[in-house]
Amino acid sequence: MLVNGAWTEIQGSKSFAVINPATGEVIEHVADGGQAEARAAIEVAHDAFPAWRATTAYARSAILYKAYQLMLDRKEELAQLMTTEQGKPIRAARTEVQYGADFLLWFAEEAKRVYGETIPAPRGDQRFIALQQPVGVVAAITPWNYPISMITRKVGPALAAGCTVVLKPAEATPLCAIAIFKILQEAGVPAGVANLVTAADPRPVGDEFVNNPKVRKLTFTGSTAVGKMLAGQAAGNMKRVSCELGGHAPFLVFADADPVHAAKGAQLVKFLNTGQACISPNRIFVHRSIHDAFVDTLASRAGKMLAGNGLTDGVAIGPLVNEAAVAKVAAQVDDARAKGAEVVCGGERLTADGLDKGFFYAPTVLANIDPEMTIYREETFGPVAPIMAFDDDQEALAMANDTHYGLAAYVYTRDISRAMRMFEGLDFGIVGINDINPSAAAAPFGGIKDSGLGREGSRKGIAEYLETKLGGFSV
C-alpha cells in the first residue's frame, strides 16, 4: 500500500495472494488493508489537499505529462504484468496501456482548461464571478477487467482538477495498480496526494469511503448491485458520486448491412477481453434475411480463436477471472440450451492442453435466443454471443431497449436515416454506428439507467471532480 508517500511492507499474516487466472499459480502476495488503513489514507489525503489545490494548473499538468511519458516508456513491462495478472492476450494488454496513458495526456491538458465565467448582474453595483474548484478528497474503486486504464481514467482527472485521491483497486489485480502508483510517485505527485490501499475484502474499505466525512467524492466502476449500494450509502453523507456500472449491450444488424462485415465486427467486440467488458454485446439482433449468413460467419471466426495463456503467440481468448465467472457463463449457456437455443459453436469449458489449470471457456455462439432465457436479461461477462432474428426496425429497437441497463449499443446499417433514428432512439449512453470502438480519452464515456451516473473522459470527465463557487461583489 502507498500512504503518505511511503510503501507499506507486508506485516505478519496481513497479506493476500494474487493468482494468474491462466495457470492458477500464485504470482505474488500483497499487503491486505482494511478500514483502519483506508481511514489513515483518507486522513493524509485530506491533509495534503490544501497544498495540492494551491499548485498551479501548469504544475499539475507537468506531473501528469511526465507520468504519461513514463507509462509509454514502460509499455511492454506494464502489458506483460497485466497479462500475467489479469489474463488478457498481450496485444490487448498493450492496447490498454496506451489507452490508459492517453487519459493522463488528455487530462494534463484539461488541467489548464478549467475555466470560470463572469455573469451579468441585475444591479448596476453588483458583479458575479463563478469559479470551478476541486471537490476535495476522492475515493476511487476500480475493477479487474481493465486494471490500468480504469485507474488513469479516474486518477488523471482527479489530480488534474486539484483533488487528492485514495484508490482501492480490485482484489484480483492489485499489482497493476501498484505499478501505476509507482509511476505517479516517480512523476512527482507529492506525498499524500495519491494513496493506494490494497485489500482482499473490499467491504471495510468501501464502508470507510462512503461514511468518512472527509471523502467528498466517490467514483466507482463495477457491478450495478454494488454501485447502487455504495451510491445509496454515499447519498446519506451528501457525497458527490459517479458510477460506471454493468451493461447489456444490444448489437443490431439491419437487412442492408453486409452480414460478413458485421459478423467480423461482432466477433472483435464480443470476444474482446474474453467478453469481460461492460460494453461487450450481450444480445445480438440480426434481420431475418441475413441471419444465417451472419451466424455462419461469426461461428466460423469464433471457432478458430485460440484460447490459452495470453503471453503465448496467437492466443486470442484468455481466461475468465475466476472459477465463479466460469460457473456463471456455463449456467447461462446451459439455461439457454435447455430452453431451446442452438449451440452453434463452443458451449463448454476448455480443459485440454493444460487449460484445466486456469479458468477457460470456449468462444460460444448461440442461435434461437428468446426473452425467456437468462442470457437475454442478465449480463454474461464471458465469451458467449447470443443471437436473435428480427423482422422490422421497430421490433429491433423495442427489443434493444428492453433492459434496465443503458451503457453501450451497436448498429450496423448503410442507411443514414435509419442510423440517425437508431442513434436517437436507443436508450444507451454510447452508440456505435458501424463502429465497434466508440471510446477514446477525448470522448465522454458512461451510461444511463442502471448502467451508471456521470461521464469519464472528455472535458466532462474533469467536471466530475469540480465544484462551482459563485462570488457576488458589491462595487
Radius of gyration of the chain (CA): 23
Region of 140 (left: φ > 0; alpha: ψ -120 to 50; beta: rest) is: beta
Angle at 141 between CA 140 and CA 145, to 5 degrees: 135
Instruction: Tell me the backbone φ, ψ of residue 457, rounded to 5 degrees.
Output: 75, 170
Task: Return the closest-CA partner of residue 464 out of 179, 254, 219, 246.
Answer: 219
Nearest to 327 by CA among 248, 269, 382: 382
> 278 an active-site residue?
yes
Task: Please state at what angle helix 149-161 crosses helix 90-110, rounded to 10 degrees.
Answer: 10
What is the rounded distance in angstroms from the CA atom of residue 460 to the CA atom of residue 475?
34
Choose, from 278, 379, 456, 464, the residue flagged as catalytic: 278
Is the Cα torsion angle 164, 166, 170, 172 positive or negative in sign? positive
Q: Which of 43, 110, 244, 379 is catalytic?
A: 244
CA angle 104-106-108, nearest 5°?
65
Spatial CB neighbours of 26, under 8 Å, sequence gap ≥ 6: 17, 18, 19, 20
Instruction: Specify whether 244 is catalytic.
Output: yes
Burial of 249 (0-12, 13-18, 19+ CB in 10 A): buried
- Catalytic positions, please? 244, 278
